[in-house]
Structure 1
Amino acid sequence: MFFAGLQDSGNLKYVRGDMFEDVPVADAVLLKSILHDWNDDECSRILKRCKEAISNQHKRGTIKKVIIVDMVVMDSEKVNEENSKTFETQLFFHMLMMVGLTGRERGEEEWAKLFCAAGFSDYKIIPISGLRFLIEVYP
């Protein structure tokens, strides 16, 4: 396993497990390039486990959230000459996910449906680097 030799720090703990079965209680859960590997039903199961993990944390004064680093495919109606190559690259990744795995790349509307289906109340999407976005999801 990739994380087997990593050391915990004061505020970060590495835990081995099955995210479909259980996610340990935490203030925040980080999913980097995870959800695009899975179909909507599987993503919903993972997100529900994450919501349970952060909802079971009873520390006062902490903002509980799921942090997702993944792609957000732009709306085809917003494609122009300036961003057409980015959109084309996003579509290539989308096809790669559909051919190699059960997942896919998602647009904002598709992400919102997943968050709602998993019982979350709000989210925020922030572009961070190239094709990657930071998505904060709140219970």
Structure 2
Amino acid sequence: METETETVQPIDDSFEWAIVEIFGHRKHAGRMREEERFGAKMCRIDVPTLVSDPIEEGKPTSWSVTGWVSHCYGGPAIFSITLTDVETVMRINRPYQSASRYIAPPDRYDGDAAEDVSVLDDTDDGEPRW
């Protein structure tokens, strides 16, 4: 008996990670590619929309992509294009997080220091040494 296996080729969507500046006034970071629209070549840039994942103690904040916002610009509108990587694009598009308040860790000793003689007692007669 002979089995056939179908090889699935990955789709080449020809996107590149980039930072695109428009007329030097607007800046978008996302995945970019050239498309033909309305009979002209245009730059399409998809900017990710990020949300913070639930915070777990001891782990850094992580982000998830919930969607994409697309922008199309004609060639003469482009001021500059800087090719980059996915980590840089995600860092640029993170929403602003305000500084959090520092919460001090709990004290090492639950009780009063005078009651906790075992911590301070290092003599044979049982008297605490202050």
Q: TM-score range by the shorter chain?
A: under 0.3
Instruction: Kindly indicate whether structure 1 or structure 2 has the higher relative contact order, using CA contacts under 8 Å at least 6 residues apart.
Output: 1
Between structure 1 and structure 2, the one with the greater Rg is 2
TM-score by length of 1: 0.21
TM-score, L = length of structure 2? 0.22
Whose helix proportion is higher, 1 or 2?
Answer: 1
1 or 2, which has the higher strand percentage? 2
